[in-house]
Amino acid sequence: MKVFPLNFKKEDLVRKTMIDSNAENKQNAEKQKENEAAPGLKESAPELEDAKKQIEYYKDLLLRKAAEFENYKRRTENETASVFKYANGELLEELLPIMDDFERSLKHGRENTEYDALLKGIEMIYQKFSKLLEGRGVKSFPTEGKEFNVDFHDALMQVHRTNISPHTVIQEVEKGYMLNDKVLRHAKVVVSSASAEEPAETPEDEEI
């Protein structure tokens, strides 16, 4: 039982009682809230444990995948380097028999003076080599008498010709080749000039 002093007023008593009552209600509410939250925490503990296990699982999975990708990348780089290194192996192997034919022809030419036979052997090698290139899609294209075209020709010089239209290929110095539908090498040519004022043929021109 609480004892109040003699000079304690009634209003103070009411105020004191209300304050104590509010404090007690607040404490009870907090206790009730804690009691209500406790079962939820207990129930969520297994879920947290499962979440931790999943995190560890995916972390381990990520590390393994990263290691697998690094190994794949390294293996791919090695395979790519090997492909580039030996890309022409098949073509070069097909060229070896032609090299053998050249060596046999040279040996025959050194041992014999029958140059007609040597010429015939060289012609056979040339036909064999041309056939190999054609099988790979490599073919030469005609140039002489054609109109000059920068897509197919490289002009070495211009020579005036009165009986030929200007910008016409009048001499092929080096053959041009196509690889299927693509220019593999431009033909080197001599082209007729538009007028006599342009550079005329020189002795060097005649040697070509």
Residues 132-187: pLDDT tens digits? 889 889 999 999 999 999 999 999 999 988 888 999 999 999 999 999 989 999 99
Task: Quickly state the pLDDT bin for 207 (edges 50, 70, 90).
Answer: very low
Among the listed residues 179, 178, 177, 207, the one whose alpha carbon sits nearest the alpha carbon of residue 190: 207
Distance between CA atoms of 156 and 143, rounded to whole angstroms?
A: 14
* Helix, strand, coil percentages for the chain (3-state, nearest 5): 60, 15, 25
What average pLDDT is seen over the chain? 79
Instruction: Determine the average pLDDT of the residues in 51-67.
Output: 90
Q: Are 171 and 142 in contact (CB under 8 A)?
A: no
pLDDT at 89: 78
- Which of the residue ranges 10-14, 59-63, 181-185 would you say has the lowest mean pLDDT? 10-14
Distance between CA atoms of 185 and 169, rounded to whole angstroms?
A: 17
- Which of the residue ranges 25-34, 52-61, 100-109 would you say has the lowest mean pLDDT? 25-34
The tokens describing 10, both together, are: 């009634």
Above 60 in pLDDT, residue 107?
A: yes
Alpha helix locations (H) across 86-114?
89-111
Q: Are 98 and 125 in contact (CB under 8 A)?
A: yes
Task: Quickly state the pLDDT bin for 200 (edges 50, 70, 90).
Answer: very low
